[in-house]
Amino acid sequence: MTAVGEQNYKSANRIRHRRTDASGATRWDWQKSYITSLFWTDAAIVVAAVLLAHVVRFGHDATTTVHGLGSLDYTMVSTAFALVWIGFLALFRTRSHRVIGAGFEEYQRVVSASLNLFGAVAIVALIFRMDLARGYLAIALPAGLAGLLFGRWVWRKIVARKRRRGEFTTAVLVVGGSRAVRHMASTFHRQIGEGYRVVGVCVPRYSGMPGEHVDVEGRKIPVYGDESTVVEALRESGADTVAVTATETLGHEGIRDLLWKLEPERADLVVATGVVDVSGPRLEMRPVAGLPLIHVEKPSYHGAKRSGKRLFDLAFSLAALLVLFPVFAVIAALIKLDDRGPVFYSSVRIGLDGKPFGMIKFRSMVVNADKQVTSLLEKNEGAGVLFKMREDPRVTRVGRILRRFSLDELPQFVNVLRGEMSVVGPRPPLRREVESYDGRVKRRLLVRPGVTGLWQVSGRSDLSWDESVRLDLSYVENWSMVSDLLIIAKTVKAVVTSEGAY
């Protein structure tokens, strides 16, 4: 080993021992342990699902006929099926350290691996004329897929709890200007479940003043140098990931050289594109003339995608109204008994393409509550042009319970049936809100407002005006059926826990 190689080797090992979380484990240690736990959990769930399908469908004595091969014991088929399923989960990299613990990608890979497996089984059965029992597969697929997703969800809850204690985290050194550094550090701080924590920064044109730092969310993050001292800063800060936002300062050659320098340090390099609130499916890397260019696809507001969303809205809202009819009857009776006033309240909101409509809610305030707003404006606790009060005197006794669990919103499924709203979408705005919109915020009106949305599962009334607008615009730009289903699932939790509701 050369002197330089030996020095790099020692340097990498020294950094490895220093990069530990609150539990004293390095990132590589906890990732290896976590991935191993996921493997055994996945294997146990797959075996249990296949065994369940085998026992329920056949009991202990079952064979299948394979054309040209005679009869096969279903025990052999089940064993092979479980092993192949576990293999597909590995083939689709469902336990890659790039996706575990946060985001939708992990769930999507598990679903893709399982569905592709069953597609492959169908093709093989057709080619070899295997007389596989449909009931066997009909039990194994939903049971296994549901179990796998539930297992991942449980492990992610465990990881989130550990990350709140400072464990299972990735230490990040950010290279960029002060504004970009603050934005990235603030984002990581708010999304603590993602597991990233900024431990140091390198700022272009650093003055070299000792003790210089950047204030983010009450934390003082030390400045270790400029873009030319990243490796030294990495060793001193104990970071295991370098995040570059100053791409214009480093240039393509600078980023390439930095990547080479980081190889012996066993540290990851990530580059911020500068494209905010655009999800992965709209980003595509395409090499052009030797340059890796990121192409950003235009958002889709029309066509088959919107038609599919409309069909889902109709089916979901109709089912919800049928199931919730007894609940509607009880709520209506309680409102009438409380103050003898009307059961429903219609609020004028602005919908798709700026068209007004009457949004239906269970009445939770006294009659003529709108006329009392002026006298209460000085006590407004809402964000932006929104009027909100934690202790609003206009709210009735029954109304407080309805608002706490968002039961007053249930009649909006009627608006969904009418085509005025969607199950998932931006928050339905008031007319006075829309009148204050600039060109950017008006993009919220490109899709139907929703009964629930990102705002509902991200804090509701506790959100600032800017954050509420950002979430709505992010949804408008990136919505998909998969994200809608996940938002609906998260809404159930937000409603039950009453997060941000008053």
How many helices (H) and strands (E) the chain has is answered by 15, 14
Q: Give the contacts of 58 (CB within 8 A, at least 6 positions apart).
A: 74, 133, 136
Q: Return the structure tokens found at 373.
A: 């707003």
Query: Among the residues of 369-453, which ranges form H helices?
Result: 373-376, 397-404, 412-418, 431-435
Torsion of CA 304, 306, 309, 311, to 10 degrees: -60
Local confidence band at 427 (pLDDT 50, 70, 90 cut-offs): confident
145-181 confidence digits (pLDDT tens): 999 999 998 998 888 888 888 788 888 898 887 788 8
pLDDT for the residue numbered 47 = 94
Q: Return the structure tokens found at 150.
A: 């539930």
Q: Higher confidence at residue 358 or residue 255?
A: 358
All structural domains of the chain: 27-164 (no CATH), 169-272 (3.40.50.1980), 304-497 (no CATH)
Least confident of 343-357, 419-433, 453-467: 453-467
> Mean pLDDT over all residues of the chain?
79
399-417 confidence digits (pLDDT tens): 888 888 888 899 999 999 9
Q: Higher confidence at residue 302 or residue 254?
A: 254
354-385 confidence digits (pLDDT tens): 899 999 999 888 887 666 666 666 665 555 55
Q: pTM (2 decimals)?
A: 0.65
DSSP run (H or E) holding 172: strand 170-175
Assess contact for 449 and 487: CB atoms under 8 A. no
Angle at CA of residue 391, ends 389 and 392, nearest 5°: 65
71-106 confidence digits (pLDDT tens): 566 778 788 889 999 999 999 999 988 788 776 788
301-352 confidence digits (pLDDT tens): 666 677 888 999 999 999 999 999 999 999 999 998 888 888 998 989 999 8
Mean per-residue pLDDT, 245-274: 78
How far apart CA 406 and CA 114 sit, in angstroms, is 36
pLDDT for the residue numbered 308 = 86
Q: Higher confidence at residue 465 or residue 471?
A: 471
In the chain, what percentage of residues exceed pLDDT 90? 19
How far apart CA 22 and CA 64 sit, in angstroms, is 54
Q: Higher confidence at residue 22 or residue 58?
A: 58
pLDDT for the residue numbered 498 = 58
Mean per-residue pLDDT, 25-46: 87
Angle at CA of residue 49, ends 43 and 51, nearest 5°: 100
Q: Return the structure tokens found at 288.
A: 């052009």
